[in-house]
A and B are shown apart, each in its own frame.
Chain A
Amino acid sequence: ELKVEQNPLFLSMQEGKNYTIYCNYSTTSDRLYWYRQDPGKSLESLFVLLSNGAVKQEGRLMASLDTKARLSTLHITAAVHDLSATYFCAGARGSWGKLQFGAGTQVVVTP
């Protein structure tokens, strides 16, 4: 069974500083996804990482995947208030690509 662990579960960020969220998974995952959820809202897709060494960047967010270490990271550069949200990673397993989500990392960015 695929298990996905995120840390930290809560991250208080100062504006302008850099931070990293870690996503470890227990067994082989075909691919790794990152989502963002604002309070009371649905999940918004951020990145899909399909292979070892994959790196994707969008604005201040950069995600990477190391399948050998079973680790994905979401790096935030120069945090701004608009990035306050809960970030989820999810691995895919099985023939139907079932997503197994981590518990989420709640990010709060303060001045």
Chain B
Amino acid sequence: ETGVTQTPRHLVMGMTNKKSLKCEQHLGHNAMYWYKQSAKKPLELMFVYSLEERVENNSVPSRFSPECPNSSHLFLHLHTLQPEDSALYLCASSQEAGGPETQYFGPGTRLLVL
């Protein structure tokens, strides 16, 4: 596989469920990101990881919990979500956090919270 991959591509969960989103990048990058894209707001940055260390938490509620076990993998653990959390969750990577290179995005996970 090449580029940035995400699983699952679609997820339906109830408000009491716990689920995880997975992202893997095959580009040798050192920085990974989680974004939320919803219909009513511009694309929002959630978290930034640089060399497995979280360097930015953009005021995200604690029901979203990121994990970066190594520079190629990024997870987003979800628990007790709200219907307004339904959105497209995009993972991205770049060579360095804060570097000039572009970010490469995965295909996204479309999440529906019932």
A1-56 interface (Cβ within 8 A of B):
4, 30-31, 33, 35, 41-45, 48, 50
B84-104 interface (Cβ within 8 A of A):
90, 92, 94, 97-104
Label chain B's interface by main secondary structure: loop
Beta-carbon contact of B45 and A98 below 8 Å:
yes
Beta-carbon contact of A101 and B42 below 8 Å:
yes
Q: Give the bracket for the number of chain A residues in contact with chain B.
A: 20 to 34
Beta-carbon contact of A96 and B100 below 8 Å:
no
Q: Give the bracket for the number of chain B residues in contact with chain A.
A: 20 to 34
Neighbouring A residues of B97 by C-beta, 8 Å: 96-97
Beta-carbon contact of B100 and A31 below 8 Å:
yes
A48 to B50, CA, bound (A): 21
Q: A43-B90, A95-B98 are in contact. Are A102 and B56 (CB under 8 A)?
A: no
Pick from B13-21, B66-74, B105-113 the stretch touching chain A: B105-113
Neighbouring B residues of A44 by C-beta, 8 Å: 105
Beta-carbon contact of A41 and B56 below 8 Å:
no
Beta-carbon contact of B42 and A43 below 8 Å:
no
Interface residues of A (CB under 8 A from B): 4, 30-31, 33, 35, 41-45, 48, 50, 88, 90, 92, 94-104
3 closest Cβ pairs, A-B complex:
A97-B98, A101-B43, A45-B102
Sampled A-B contacts (9; CB under 8 Å): A42-B90, A44-B105, A45-B104, A50-B100, A88-B43, A95-B98, A97-B100, A99-B45, A103-B42
